[in-house]
Structure 1
Amino acid sequence: MGADAFIEPIIVATILIGGVYVNRRSTSLKDGYRSPSSESLLPNMEPQWRERKVFGRTVRCRNTAVWRDTKISRFIARYPFAVEVWYWLLVYWTYQIGRAFTALTLQADLTPIARLHALSLISLEKRLGLFIELDVQHWFLPRPVLLKIINCMYSFIHIPGTITFLACLYHYAPRPLFEARRRTLAICNLIAFVIFTSWPCMPPRLLPEEDGFGFVDTVHTGKVASVWTSNRFCQQLAAMPSLHFGYSFIIGLTIATMPNVRATNIRRRLMLIAAGMAYPTMILIAILATANHFVLDAVAGFFVAVAGWHVNGVLVNLLPLEDWFFNLLHVHKPDHEEARDGTASPVGDGKIGPEEEWWRRA
């Protein structure tokens, strides 16, 4: 096992820990934090139960605020992004374990089925005039420097870039917007898992030579494969949809539509729009040039992202389960941490109103 197997996880861990530190809070009584010396002066008078809305109905749930004075709760009050790290790890590893399970239980007869699905996509793309994957890859092949860059972009940007985006968004955005984006990514994982499990599709790089296309697996032949995608537990027949593109589209659209940029600051607005458009464009080129996805995989990733963007609020109905879990651990996590100016944020439903001005540094 080479050093690369440790470098990538260390980078990811560093970003997560950095996000926890950057988003730390002062040790004041703000946001429900109590210093150890104040515990005896502020006895816990919280009720045992609280009410939540679940699909429009009011249900009674455990009130985790009764545990606000435990050591873990104080740590969360001081470093609230630690909870988001837990969320990300839960969603990511649930998704990866699901992929690993399908990879280990993969039946031999699914490989030819996945190949036929890939060939059907090529046939459809030819009819639609979208079959450009070979042209894109052939443009990069005689340009080794650019090919190296595009290989690294595909292998090493997806996960670190997404985590960095979440940490920065948490720092600047109001909690409703941040939580909506976090739920959107979780919904995308769920939809993608259902699709590639029920409709396995072989990526272009794995199509056999006898099919006559000649795709090159540039990432693995160039020895720049990510540790996350080159292990035996990775499901290789999961080209459809492309979460690389789906995630990048969500990140890019969020950046491009950042609110509260002053109307007179046209340059700042144009820079955000350009950056928001550039990121998914670069990822699209990377997934095509490395022969990891078809154009229609990216189209499917786009629609998965749009679906997650609009229906992510359904996950709010799972908050009673979260209450039960944190109550079991004797941990309190405030529902919505206060905004940077100290005003409480309302319960998020995945939609952001114009009154929630957060790009305060523009």
Structure 2
Amino acid sequence: MGVPTTRTTADRRQDATAQDVTEAPAASAPTRTKPGPLQRLRSPRRPRIWFEIALIAVSYWTYSLIRNAVPEQRAEALRNADWIWATEHALGIAVEQSINHAVNGVTWLVLTMNYYYATLHFIVTIGVLVWLYRSHPGRYAATRLVLFATTGLALLGFYLFPLAPPRLMSGGHFIDTVQVHQTWGSMASGNLAQMSNQYAAMPSMHIGWSVWCGITIAMLAKPVWAKVLGVLYPVTTLAVIVSTANHFWLDAIGGLLCLGLGFAVSCTWYGRLSYRLPRLATNPA
């Protein structure tokens, strides 16, 4: 006969624990939840060329349509111009007229500025968008949103504060350099004036767009010379819009305010500054 053994309470507890461990189902691997529609929209995505071309074309058409549909309130626009001019005198910064007359006396310089004003505003902005699309696809949508939000806010400014440019002021003695020198130029001057709202000077989108281009180039371009050009571009644009009597200094301030709000909209939507997003987008378009 075998020797009887006694099982202690501790032994029985140990057996029960082992049985529980043996019978317990294996822990399931953590499941990855699919991001919701809103989260997908707020994530960097690879842009699609056909969509971007269509979006930019439709957006610019809408911008032009709305801008030119704003009632041309000539009397109010001229009153606002007088107020801006008086405010600048009070601030001691009303030097636009002196600059306008000085530049007009240098023919090659004023002609260059006329063509600069008429062309680079669009060429450089589109060029930066194309460069972003090709070289920084992960940052493209967020940086583009800054530009679009800035422009949308500008449309609101055109409606709420119609403003005549200095060259249209009565008694302002400013020189319309496009008319005087008969150069192909601004859509708001010369023979093309009927195609554009003449009283949409506040805020200045020449400044809003050029500063957007300058910051984007300075933040993302690698060559030092490109960064320098990025800084010089909005500075040169400011000199041009004042010299050709298309804007006051304060119009430029309005453009900067719109751009600042545009960056705020983009940062709020994407959760960070667009330039700090990954350069390459991993999510499909």
TM-score normalised by L of structure 1: 0.61
Shift of 1:152: 0.5
Aligned to 1:293: 247
Selected match of 2:100 from 109, 133, 137: 137
Alignment match, 2:197:
235
What's the Cα RMSD here?
Answer: 2.6
Alpha-carbon distance between aligned partners in 1 of 2:272 and 2:151, rounded to the nearest angstrom: 17
Summarize the Cα distance change of 1:298–1:167 in structure 2 as closer, same or farther, 3 Å threshold: same
Structure 1 residue 235: deviation in Å? Answer: 0.8
Aligned to 1:111: 74
Matched, 1:277 2:231: yes
Aligned CA distance change for structure 1 residues 126 and 272 (closer, same or farther; 3 Å): same
Q: C-alpha distance in 1, partners of 2:226/2:108? A: 28
Give 5+ residue unaligned stretches, structure 2.
1-34, 281-285
Q: Which residue of 1 aligns with 2:261?
A: 307
Structure 1 residues 244 and 227, CA gap change in structure 2 (3 angstroms) = closer
Instruction: Say which of 40, 45, 53 aligns to 2:38.
Output: 53
State the 1:257 CA deviation. 1.3
| C-alpha contact 1:180 1:350 (8 A) present in aligned 2 | no
1:214 aligns with 2:173: yes
CA distance in 2, matches of 1:292, 1:302: 17
- Relative to its length, the structure with more helix (as a share) is 2
**Contact 2:150/2:259, CA 8 A, preserved across alignment:** yes
Q: Counterparts of 1:251-266 in structure 2 under 5 Å?
A: 251-258=213-220, 261=222
Q: Counterpart of 1:240 in 2: which secondary structure?
A: coil
Query: Are residues 223 and 143 of structure 1, via their aligned partners in 2, closer, same or farther at CA, if it must alter by over 3 Å?
Result: same
Residue 20 of structure 2 is matched in structure 1 by none
Q: For residue 204 of structure 1, what is the amino acid of its counterpart?
A: P
- The one-letter amino acid of 1:202's match is A
Query: Which structure 2 residues correspond to residues 114-129 of structure 1 after superposition, within 5 A?
Result: 114-129=77-92
> Based on CA coordinates, which of the two structures has the bigger radius of gyration?
2
Q: Which residue does the alignment assign to 2:7?
A: none
Across the two proteins, how many residue pairs are aligned to each other?
240
**Offset at 1:351?**
2.6
Gaps of 5+ in 1: 1-49, 60-76, 262-267, 317-347
The 1-side partners of 2:276 and 2:65 are apart by 39
Deviation at 1:126, TM superposition (A): 1.2
* 2:110 paired with 1:188: no
Contact between 1:310 and 1:350, CA under 8 Å: does it hold in 2?
no
Secondary structure at the aligned position of 2:152 is classed as: helix
